Amino acid sequence: MTRKDEALLSVRHLVKHFPIRAGIFKRIVAWVKAVDGVDFDIYEGETLGLVGESGCGKTTIGMTLLGLYPPTGGSVYFNGEDITPYLLPRWKVRSYLKQTYVNHFKKLSGDEIEKLPQEVRRYAEVYFNDHKGNTESFVRHFTENRKEKQKAIRREMQIVFQDPYSSLNPRMRIGNIIGEAVDVHGLASSSAERRRMVAEILQKVGLYPEYAMRYPHEFSGGQRQRIGIARALILNPKLVVADEAVSALDVSIRSQILNLMEDLQREFQLTYLFISHDLSVIKHISDRVAVMYLGKIVEVAPKKKLFDRPLHPYTVSLMSAIPIPDPDYKKRRVILKGDVPSPINPPSGCRFHPRCPIAREVCSKEEPPLKEVEEDRKVACFFAGEIS
């Protein structure tokens, strides 16, 4: 794990709500609060595991980071640069910049600006020094060359999808599925070069270059997932979001793909955001783990600390729920009562309190903040560590 001080990707107060429409006029009747204020950092070269049950918002986070859904609120910084304007539709960029930066900067004194978080302070300098406090010029800084900048972000961040069957276009040859990215970004000067690039990446993911001429239905699930990985890696990205990348695979194939992803991480110095519902996979591949529940991160810690001593009661019960392939393994089970509540009307206070074995009165009234309890370790619970 090569860790630098500055994060490769920082997510701040990320919010993604999906409208539910009904009636003839398609009025919005409710919001699904899929992601509701999430903060985390990913450092270069590491693997951050994002674990949680279905509907907790983990996939939505991945999609939002890739710009596949525009965020409802919050900011995303990549290499210290705010990329949110490129994830948002163009007409929202202005109001985003005003709300996030300009309105604050205007109110704050110089000292107060000094105290702002580093990523925001950086833009204070840009605003006051480069643009002399001119809002229009500052906005233009983010709207100029929008297409090129969006493309540049796409090259840095890529995604591997869950379903090896639906993620490859059945009517395209493997060579074109992988080579499409080369075409879009103009990476090859000739078709021979494109062929060479495709052949090279196919070999890297453990397939034969001849496969480029074949169609997806000729391959098994594991091979298809290798093709999906090749498609993501041909752009030579820094960050790869793996969204349940091994969940649909058979057990014996899953370990091959996990090993491959680890090898590729070393070879290409990749940073992974590894999204999964499977704690044992997360434990194997991650350096740090973030646990999500109903649109919030409840605990984030280095892997060893988290698995040795989970502090949040949800993490504890999640871990104890996993069946261990050893009939003699005796464990204390914390079986949760009830179902995951709906993200349309999440419970008040701490979202976990209706199912929590140690919930007290305060939990239903106040929302516990995600705060640092030890070095490198944050938990959102008033009574962190009371059960383990």
Instruction: Return the residues of window 140-199 that contact another protein according to CB under 8 A.
Output: 150-151, 154-155, 158-159, 161-163, 166-173, 177, 180-181, 184-185
Distance, in Å, from the CA atom of 386 to the CA atom of 370, rounded to the nearest integer, reads 16
- Using the Cα atoms of residue 83, residue 85, residue 88 and residue 89 in order, give the sign of their dihedral: negative
CA 229 to chain CA centroid, nearest Å: 16
**Does residue 271 touch another protein according to CB under 8 A?**
no
How crowded is the C-beta side of 311, counted as CA atoms within 13 Å?
Answer: 25
In the list 18, 31, 128, 307, the residue contacting another protein (rule: CB under 8 A) is 307
**Does residue 326 touch another protein according to CB under 8 A?**
yes
Residue whose C-alpha is closest to residue 377's, from 285, 315, 284: 315
Q: Which is nearer to another protein, 24 or 192 (CB)?
A: 24
Residues 6 or more apart whose CB falls under 8 angstroms from that of 298 comprise 291, 292, 312, 314, 315, 352, 370, 379, 380, 381
In the list 89, 110, 192, 329, the residue contacting another protein (rule: CB under 8 A) is 329
Residue 120: count of CB within 10 angstroms of its CB: 17
- The three-state secondary structure class of 286 is coil
CB of 115 to another protein, least distance (A): 37
- The three-state secondary structure class of 32 is strand
Taking CB under 8 A as the binding criterion, the range among 70-78, 91-99, 191-199, 321-329 that sits at the site for another protein is 321-329
Residue 216: count of CB within 10 angstroms of its CB: 20
CB of 114 to another protein, least distance (A): 38
Instruction: Fill in the per-residue mask, 56 to 85: x = in contact with another protein (CB under 8 A), - = not in contact.
Output: -------x--xxx-----------------
Q: Of residues 239-258, which lie at the interface with another protein (CB under 8 A)?
A: 250-256, 258
CB of 156 to another protein, least distance (A): 11
Instruction: Fill in the per-residue mask, 196 to 225: x = in contact with another protein (CB under 8 A), - = not in contact.
Output: -------------------x-x--xxxx--
Hey, what amino acid is at 88? Answer: L
Q: Which is nearer to another protein, 75 or 167 (CB)?
A: 167
Residue 50 phi, psi dihedral angles, 5° rounding: -115, 115
**Does residue 262 touch another protein according to CB under 8 A?**
yes
Q: 277, 54 in Cβ contact below 8 A?
A: yes
Q: For strand 239-243 and strand 271-276, is the pairing parallel, antiparallel, or unpaired?
A: parallel
384-388, Cβ contacts within 8 angstroms, sequence gap of 24 or more: 384/311, 384/312, 385/309, 385/311, 386/313, 386/358, 387/313, 387/316, 387/334, 387/357, 387/358, 388/309, 388/310, 388/311, 388/316
**Does residue 88 touch another protein according to CB under 8 A?**
no
Q: Which is nearer to another protein, 94 or 231 (CB)?
A: 231
**Does residue 387 touch another protein according to CB under 8 A?**
no
Q: Which is nearer to another protein, 122 or 151 (CB)?
A: 151
Q: Which is nearer to another protein, 132 or 217 (CB)?
A: 217
CB of 104 to another protein, least distance (A): 32
**Does residue 136 touch another protein according to CB under 8 A?**
no
**Does residue 332 touch another protein according to CB under 8 A?**
no
CB of 206 to another protein, least distance (A): 10
